[in-house]
C-alpha cells in the first residue's frame, strides 16, 4: 500500500458565467491501491480545455457532466510508477482521461502509450493529441481544402486553430487567422506562415477587416468561437463554402442561448455547408491522424507552441485563462 498523499482538484460549485477559482477546491486523499490489471500513474502534465466548461454546467451533452464534490477529469500525460498490468512497465509514459490529481490508479485499458522519441511527451495533449486531431479531421474531412482556396480560422492562435491553419497552408490555401492580441496575430503570420491575421479586440469593424483580407471571399471557415466573429464571416462566403463548426467558446459562459443573425439565407444562396462535429466521431481514425501529424512535425511542416502554468493547484487558474485569451497555443499545467 502506497503511503504518499494525493492532491486532487474537485468541482466545488457549478460556475455562473466565467468560472472562478472558488468553483474548485483542492483536497487530499490516499492513493488508491494498484490491483491486478491496474497501473499507478504520476501526473506530469494535465490539459485544460474549453469543452470542460460545458461539463461543469451539469447538463448532459455528448459527454456526462462533472459531479459536484468529485474530481475534475481531463487529458493527462504521466509516468507509470507501479504496474500490475502486462501492458505497461514502470517508466512508461502514458496518456489518458484521468483525474486532475498528483497520482491516478487506473485500469491499464484506459491508457495509451506515449513515445518520447517522436516528440516531447506534452505534445500528446496538444498537437499530437486531441486538439491536433480536431484540427486534422475538422479541416480535412469537413473542410476538404483545395489549393488556392481562402480559409478563415477563428480562435486561430489556440491549440486547435494553430494546427488547423498550418494544415491549410500545407494544402496550399490562403489562410487568415482571427485572434485576440497583437502578440498572437504576429505569431500566426511571422512564425506559422499565415497570410494575414486580424486582432478582433483592436478593430471596430470586424467584417470590413476580414473582407479586406479575403479579396476572393471565404471558401472555408473553421469556427472555434462563434458569436459576432462568425456573424461577420457569414456574408463573405463563396459558392459551395464549407463551415466547420468546431467550437463556440464565446457562448460557453452564457446562461441563455445567444440570438444572432439568421444564417440560413447565407448558406442557401451560396449552396454552402455548415457541419458540427466532435473529434470523438473520428476515434477509429486517430492512429492515422497522429501518424500524419507526427510526420509533418518531423518534416518541420508543422510547428507548435505551449503555454505552461506550473503546479496542480494552479490548474483552475489556467483553465479560467482560456476564457480570457491568456494562452498562445496549447495551455498545459505542469504538475511534476
Residue 10 CB, nearest approach to ligand NAP (Å): 22
Rule CB under 6 A: which of 147-166 touch ligand NAP?
155, 157-161
Complete DSSP assignment for 184-224: HHHIIIIIT--SEEEETTT-S-HHHHHHHH-TT-EEEEEES
185 to 214: interface string for ligand NAP, x by CB under 6 A: ------------------------------
Give min distance, CB of 203 to ligand NAP, in A. Answer: 13
Please report whether residue 74 would count as binding ligand NAP according to CB under 6 A.
no
The binder of ligand NAP chosen from 327, 332, 333, 335 (CB under 6 A):
327
Residue 325 zone, left/alpha/beta (φ > 0; ψ -120 to 50; rest): left
Closer CB to ligand NAP, 270 or 330, in the complex: 330
Which CB atom, from 108 or from 331, has the smaller least distance to ligand NAP? 331
Subset of residues 224 to 283 that bind ligand NAP, contact rule: CB under 6 A? 224-225, 227, 229, 246-250, 277-279
Cell 488547423, residue?
Answer: 164
d(C-alpha 30, C-alpha 43), whole Å: 15
For the chain, how long is the longest CA-to-CA vector?
66
From 19, 74, 75, 131, residue interacting with ligand NAP (rule: CB under 6 A) = 131
Can you spell out the DSSP letters for 83-133? E-STT--TT-EEEEEEESBSEEEEEGGGEEEE-TTTS-GGGGGTTTSHHHH
Looking at the chain, list the stretches that DSSP marks H as alpha helix, in order from N- to C-terminal side. 52-56, 130-137, 159-170, 182-186, 206-213, 227-233, 264-269, 286-298, 315-321
325 binds ligand NAP (CB under 6 A): yes
CB 328 to ligand NAP: min, Å? 8
* Per-residue contact string for residues 86-125; x = within reach of ligand NAP by CB under 6 A: ----------------------------------------
CB of 35 to ligand NAP, least distance (A): 33
Q: Which residue has the cell 471558401?
A: 219
CB 249 within 8 A of CB 155: yes
Nearer to ligand NAP, 163 or 294 (CB): 163
Residues that contact ligand NAP, how many (by CB under 6 A): 32
Q: Residue 181, interface with ligand NAP (CB under 6 A)? A: yes
CB atoms within 10 A of CB 63: 13
CA distance 135 to 244: 10
CB of 49 or CB of 92, closer to ligand NAP? 49
Applying CB under 6 A, the residues found at the interface with ligand NAP are 49-51, 131, 134, 155, 157-161, 179-181, 184, 224-225, 227, 229, 246-250, 277-279, 322-323, 325, 327, 331
Amino acid at each position: 500500500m502506497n503511503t504518499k498523499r494525493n492532491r486532487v482538484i474537485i468541482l466545488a460549485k457549478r460556475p455562473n458565467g466565467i468560472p472562478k477559482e472558488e468553483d474548485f477546491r483542492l483536497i487530499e486523499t490516499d492513493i488508491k491501491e494498484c490491483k491486478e490489471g491496474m497501473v499507478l500513474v504520476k501526473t506530469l502534465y494535465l490539459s485544460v480545455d474549453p469543452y470542460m466548461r460545458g461539463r461543469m454546467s451539469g447538463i448532459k451533452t455528448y459527454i456526462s457532466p462533472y459531479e459536484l464534490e468529485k474530481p475534475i477529469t481531463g487529458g493527462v500525460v504521466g509516468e507509470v510508477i507501479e504496474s500490475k498490468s502486462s501492458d505497461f512497465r514502470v517508466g512508461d509514459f502514458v496518456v489518458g482521461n484521468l483525474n486532475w490529481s498528483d497520482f491516478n490508479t487506473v485500469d491499464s485499458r484506459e491508457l495509451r502509450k506515449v513515445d518520447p522519441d517522436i516528440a516531447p511527451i506534452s505534445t500528446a495533449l496538444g498537437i499530437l493529441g486531441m486538439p491536433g486531431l480536431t484540427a486534422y479531421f475538422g479541416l480535412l474531412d469537413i473542410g476538404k481544402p483545395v489549393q488556392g482556396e481562402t480559409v478563415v480560422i477563428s480562435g486561430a492562435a489556440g491549440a486547435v486553430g494553430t494546427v488547423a491553419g498550418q494544415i491549410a497552408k500545407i494544402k496550399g490555401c490562403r489562410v487568415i487567422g482571427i485572434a485576440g492580441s497583437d502578440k498572437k496575430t504576429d505569431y500566426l503570420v511571422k512564425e506559422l506562415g499565415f497570410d494575414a491575421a486580424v486582432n478582433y479586440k483592436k478593430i471596430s469593424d470586424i467584417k470590413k477587416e476580414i473582407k479586406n483580407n479575403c479579396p476572393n471571399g471565404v471558401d472555408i471557415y473553421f469556427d472555434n468561437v462563434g458569436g459576432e466573429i462568425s456573424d461577420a464571416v457569414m456574408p463573405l462566403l463563396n459558392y459551395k463554402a464549407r463551415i466547420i463548426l468546431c467550437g463556440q467558446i464565446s457562448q460557453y459562459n452564457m446562461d441563455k442561448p445567444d440570438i444572432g443573425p439568421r444564417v440560413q439565407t447565407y448558406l442557401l444562396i451560396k449552396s454552402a455547408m455548415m457541419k458540427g462535429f466532435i473529434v470523438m466521431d473520428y476515434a477509429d481514425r486517430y492512429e492515422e491522424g497522429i501518424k500524419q501529424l507526427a510526420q509533418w512535425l518531423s518534416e518541420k511542416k508543422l510547428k507548435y507552441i505551449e503555454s505552461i502554468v506550473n503546479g496542480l493547484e494552479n490548474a483552475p487558474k489556467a483553465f479560467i485563462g482560456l476564457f480570457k485569451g491568456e494562452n498562445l497555443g496549447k495551455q498545459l499545467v505542469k504538475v511534476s
